[in-house]
Chains A and B, each alone.
Chain A
Amino acid sequence: MRRKSSRWIAGLAVACAAMLIAFAGSLSAAKNAAQVKPTHVDLAAEKSLGTRSAPVTLDVYSDFQCPSCRLFFLTATTPLMNDYVASGKVYLVHHDFPLPMHAHSAEAAKWANAAAEIGKFREVETALYTKQDTWGATGKIDDALDNVLTPTEMKRVRGLLDSPEVTASIQHDEDLAKAKGLSGTPSIFITHKGQTVQIPAQGATYALVKQYIDYLLTQ
């Protein structure tokens, strides 16, 4: 009888020990997960909109200080988000391609990527394009973001501007652009069923882009 109860006690002790080990393991994993920093791959996802499995992918290489990029964003990208991205038909990918000819575009790209780290890319992107004239002239990018970032967020974003992840994310996009031989912005690529077509930015109005996407979706 005593032997039987000691077996029970030993079994219980082993089970408790196993539970303790498992608990400690999960705590450690959670701690590690909290310490993982976003990579440029994560930032790329933050800079994209829609579902990756959408039938059409629209890649836009953009410079926040470029007037044509602003025009394309306001007149084509924004309605596209509402009409096609939201319904899962188009996957919209933003790529940074700050041109040396624009004095503040590299800095603006840093702000946008740093904002992506805290999940605020879309808001910052919209503010940067909307207020391009203001910060483009003064270089005071943070002033343009006052309305979309809280003081705490602003402080966090400012702290991330020169982080290795932000630098790597921009560099990754620039490398992609150079590999494609791009020299100007916006450079727009539409991919459908593995076939990619670069459309001339000067001719890419929303009406034409929409007709082309509608055509692709029927194929």
Chain B
Amino acid sequence: MDTTSTIPVTSARANWPRWLLLAGRLILGGVFIYAGYAKLREPWMLFAFSINSYQILPESIVSILARTLPWFELLLGVVIVSGVALRWTAAAASGLFILFSAAMLRAYVKNLSIDCGCFGYGEKLGPLRFTFEGALLALALGVTIGAFLMRRRKT
């Protein structure tokens, strides 16, 4: 009697990494879907102003990026939520967050008056934004590592 009652508890305990990965995957994918959607509901020029304010890319590339990046974010978010090729999509998300964070840090150090452009127009760069960005990077890295570990466990 005792044995039968402990089986589900043990099974749930053994499955917690899976549930944690699922939760992380849903949050990470949701963040990307929202980021893409927030940019797509505004004219692309507003996002172009934001990208251009970082003063990293030439204007011709800024225009292309402003039109395509939101769709890429939306697609990446959907694929992450679906769980297909999670190791690689989560790695791509981590790479994007590293790039975004580096660009933001550079702008902050150079004291550029920029618009973050992370979730649509009008977001100023500041300590709160860096904290949030750091948390998202940690989440993306966590999901990536988790996805790789889970794969190893299966094989």
Which residues on A are within 8 Å of B, measured CB to CB?
184, 197-205, 207-208, 211-212, 215
Contact = CB atoms under 8 A, between A and B. Distances in A.
Most buried by A among B45, B48, B62, B121: B45
Nearest to B110: A202
Given A203-B54, A203-B115, 14 more contacts: A197-B46, A197-B122, A199-B49, A200-B49, A200-B50, A200-B53, A201-B113, A202-B52, A202-B53, A203-B52, A204-B49, A207-B59, A208-B59, A208-B63
* Closest 7 A/B residue pairs (Cβ): A203-B53, A203-B52, A200-B115, A200-B53, A212-B45, A202-B53, A203-B49
**Which among A200, A202, A211 has the greatest number of chain B C-beta atoms within 10 A?**
A200
A203 B45 contact: no
B112 interface: yes
A195 to B, nearest CB: 11
A199 B113 contact: no
B147 interface: no
Nearest to B112: A202
Interface in B47-90: 48-55, 59, 62-63
Contact of B45 (A184, A202, A211): A211
